[in-house]
């Protein structure tokens, strides 16, 4: 969901680089899982705001700049049980990652290894036997997303 860029101020605030659609989306979640290597900690969000396009947050457990500075580089995860249910035909990127992509001829194009935001629409990055494919995640090309079987069916040729 993002990472901690460093300390902000002297009272334990941190600067966050979110990888969410909206800069302040992470403020909707009260518990954050912070991970760096084998070090994992749960942090309780006390306060937060956006200033000059940058997200600043204060955790209940962090009281000073030195403690905040130690969080630099931690990756932010939100426990799945806190996610809101997506609307019909909407998906969290994390749910699409790793899905197998097949075309209408049942040829396996590969696995979703990344998703790019282009502004107009999201694009699946699929890697497999036929190389890397960039498939727009729009109804014109996406026939079905089956979360149960972890497959996506697309209208996309192996030679595109």
Of 22, 57, 80, the one marking the end of a domain is 80
75 and 8 share one domain: yes
Q: Are 63 and 11 in contact (CB under 8 A)?
A: yes
Helix (H, G, I), strand (E, B) or coil at 86: coil
Helix (H, G, I), strand (E, B) or coil at 53: coil
Per-residue pLDDT tens for 13-53? 999 999 887 899 999 999 999 999 999 999 999 999 999 88
Per-residue pLDDT tens for 57-91? 999 999 999 999 999 999 999 888 888 888 888 89
Residue 131 C-alpha from the chain's centroid: 24
Of 80, 114, 130, the one marking the end of a domain is 80
CATH of the domain at 69: 2.40.30.60
Q: Which residues pair with 102 in a beta bridge?
A: 108, 153
Number of domains observed in the structure of the chain: 2
Write down the pTM of the prediction.
Answer: 0.67
Please report, for the chain, how many H helices and E strands are present, in that order.
2, 12
Is 85 a domain residue?
Answer: no
Is 159 a domain residue?
Answer: no
Structure tokens at 52: 């000059």
């Amino acid at each position: 969901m993002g990472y901690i860029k460093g300390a902000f101020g002297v009272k334990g605030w941190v600067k966050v680089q979110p990888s969410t659609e909206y800069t302040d989306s992470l403020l909707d979640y009260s518990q954050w899982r912070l991970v760096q290597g084998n070090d994992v900690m749960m942090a309780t969000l006390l306060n937060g705001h956006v200033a000059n396009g940058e997200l600043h947050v204060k955790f209940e457990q962090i009281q000073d700049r030195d403690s905040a500075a130690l969080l630099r580089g931690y990756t932010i995860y939100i426990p799945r049980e806190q996610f809101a249910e997506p609307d019909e035909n909407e998906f969290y990127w994390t749910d699409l990652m790793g899905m197998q992509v097949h075309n209408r001829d049942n040829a396996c194009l590969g696995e979703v290894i990344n998703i790019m935001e282009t502004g107009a629409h999201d694009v699946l990055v699929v890697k497999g036997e036929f190389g890397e494919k960039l498939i727009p995640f729009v109804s014109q090309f996406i026939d079905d997303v089956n979360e149960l079987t972890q497959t996506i069916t697309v209208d996309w040729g192996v030679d595109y």
